A and B are shown apart, each in its own frame.
Chain A
Amino acid sequence: MDKKIILRRIRHSRFMIVGAVVLVFILALSLLAPVVCQFDPEASSIAERLLPPEWLSHGMAGHILGTDELGRDVFTRLLYGARISIMIAVAVCCSAAVLGTALGLTAGYFGKKVDMVIMRAMEVIQAIPDIVLAICVLSLLGPSTLNLIIVLLIGRTPMFCRLARNNTLVYRNAEFVKASRSMGAGRAHIIFTQILPNITTPLIVQLSQAFGSNIMIESSLSFLGLGIQQPQPSWGNMIAAGRKFLATDPWVCFAPGVALMLIVLAFNFLGDGLRDVLDPKRT
């Protein structure tokens, strides 16, 4: 599609700009965490426990968002927690997109029995709620970052697979694919150079929305104690820890909660915006 049109659409899509700005802001802060923060995210100091937020009254040197029950700086933990959450989301969603697309292309192009086996397997996975699947696997294998990534990967793959397969079906019998075959092209050539470029747009949209929901699920698991383990910070386990002090010292819970809401919203805005911007049928 024309670059000019895409640029113009981006400029007109306010939600997408808001989403992108919030994301860039969060991403930059978390990447720069070691520079921005003076505190150690895991070092506790009982003397400073449950201090209320000082905001910016002491500049970057103070406990901007207060401290938690072990005297750790909430702002610092928030940024380090974001690094882990985003790292996991990127790892999970990108590998799920690759794996799902590969499976979907295979199922869609070859059809018949191959399609049957792959799609039924995907349906079985989708029939089990993500959380239940995670609880089963993680309590068997024990909670670790790698196991968490594997569990989330299993849960995320079917939606990419389904999307890739449905779009492959649209193009499998297109005349340009026939033309390719009629000049002696093999299957690999057709799948990768003819069909794949045509199905990427919806996958990109799906990917950006998957980031948001992935961060959400990872946080839920960490909240339940199945994901990231203390003392390593994660928004989920921060909320879990702060729960006990919700009535007296609400900032411990609120900071990661609000951050979680912001990032999920931002990813959804971005995804919706992308769908509009990349829509070839829009006039």
Chain B
Amino acid sequence: MENLLEIKNLRVVYKTERATGQALNGMSITLKPGESLGLVGEAGAGKTTTALSILNLLPRAGHILEGEVLFHGKNVLKMSKKELQNMRGHQISMIFQNPLTSLNPVFTVGEQIEMVLRHHLHMKPKQAEERAKELLESVGIPAYRLHEYPVQFSGGMRQRVGIAAGIACNPELLIADEPTTALDVTIQAQILELMKLLQEQHKTSLLMITHNLGIISELCENVAVMYAGRVIEYGSVEEVFAHPSHPYTRGLLGALPDMEKNQERLTSIPGTVADAQNLPEGCRFHPRCEHCMEQCRSKQPYPIALNHRHMVECFMYEGGDGQ
């Protein structure tokens, strides 16, 4: 099947007064139509930068050094303003982390959804209003609340509105950037169930960005683990979570307290997250890795396929099937 989205060897730096931060260092992922991919990593791993690059929405300090982002085989980074506008919100839409700030407080939620519909699908006002009502109901908000302002909604409800606006044009790709991080557990559960349902109905591709491994395990087929601006492990959720292979992924899973059984100690990863302004040579993870070998210090590991559903960037698996 043709790839819907393909990011090839993307390198992005942020230049600030103080220093240059290397946000992405050869980031590559692919996404097929209808696929749901989870992107996990800790703060500073480059998750949000990836999302913004897909929409070509990097802030001014961000510079793309090399690489391409192909959407339907077309490079997003070279698109004209018009093509971009047509793509954003129509073919690709995004749900943001903070439901408090991602809606404009001076427009009613109805107006905000209708705006998307009228701009992209050229609907008539009446038609747009009808569709907006349908959309609100599909995310579990009664249609009569169409004319209310975002302040009249709670956090969870605003995120529902955000989702409604996100799916308004039946996008081919939905990017969700930590959509439930700002919400309480029971509200998060509501949103997750809603997203599952919508995914079943619309068969939209989903790029789910989160630091919560549990959410990925529930919502996604495939997972890409990011560290210091690279995907260091990629595979189907079952494979990666059942047989985590990269030392970082193992550490990440071990650091999570288990809800089911008692543990005396959590395994913590020594050291701190790699500093984007001062990345180590070779494998970015080597200063924190207990399996660090000579070549890890100088050479960047390349992707090694463990099986057809599992890929890892680590020299431990070089030559043969590793362990």
Contacts and interface: CB of A to CB of B under 8 A. Distances in A.
A282 B61 CA distance: 12
9 contacts: A5-B17, A5-B18, A8-B17, A9-B17, A282-B17, A283-B16, A283-B17, A283-B18, A283-B61
Nearest to A2: B18
Contacts of B17: 5, 8-9, 282-283
Nearest to B59: A283
Interface in B47-74: 61
- Tell which of A5, A8, A9, A283 has the most Cβ of chain B within 10 Å: A283
A32 B164 CA distance: 73
Contacts of A8: 17
A5 B18 CA distance: 7
Nearest to B14: A283
A205 B17 CA distance: 22
B58 to A, nearest CB: 14
Given A5-B17, A5-B18, A283-B61, 6 more contacts: A8-B17, A9-B17, A282-B17, A283-B16, A283-B17, A283-B18
Q: Most chain-A CB neighbours within 10 Å: which of B16, B18, B61?
A: B18
A260 to B, nearest CB: 36
Interface of A: 5, 8-9, 282-283
Interface string B15-33: 0111000000000000000
B190 to A, nearest CB: 30
A198 B61 CA distance: 28
Nearest to A282: B17
A10 to B, nearest CB: 13
Interface string B208-231: 000000000000000000000000
Nearest to B15: A283
Nearest to A9: B17
A282 B18 CA distance: 10
Nearest to A4: B18
Contacts of A282: 17
A282 B16 CA distance: 9
Interface string B163-199: 0000000000000000000000000000000000000
A5 B16 CA distance: 12
Contacts of B61: 283
B14 to A, nearest CB: 9
The 3 A-B residue pairs with the shortest CB-CB distance in the complex, in nearest-first order: A283-B16, A283-B17, A5-B18
Contacts of A283: 16-18, 61
B44 to A, nearest CB: 15
Contacts of A5: 17-18
Contacts of A9: 17
A5 B61 CA distance: 18
B198 to A, nearest CB: 37
Nearest to A283: B16
Contacts of B16: 283
Nearest to A12: B17
Contacts of B18: 5, 283
A49 to B, nearest CB: 57
B60 to A, nearest CB: 10
B15 to A, nearest CB: 10
A78 B18 CA distance: 44
A9 to B, nearest CB: 8
B13 to A, nearest CB: 14
A9 B61 CA distance: 18
A8 B16 CA distance: 13
A8 B17 CA distance: 9
A102 B16 CA distance: 37
Interface in B246-261: none
A283 B61 CA distance: 9
A38 to B, nearest CB: 50
A283 B17 CA distance: 6
A230 to B, nearest CB: 52
A62 B61 CA distance: 57
B157 to A, nearest CB: 28
B146 to A, nearest CB: 37
A208 B18 CA distance: 27
A140 B61 CA distance: 59
A223 B323 CA distance: 91
Nearest to B61: A283
A273 to B, nearest CB: 15
B274 to A, nearest CB: 20
Nearest to B17: A283
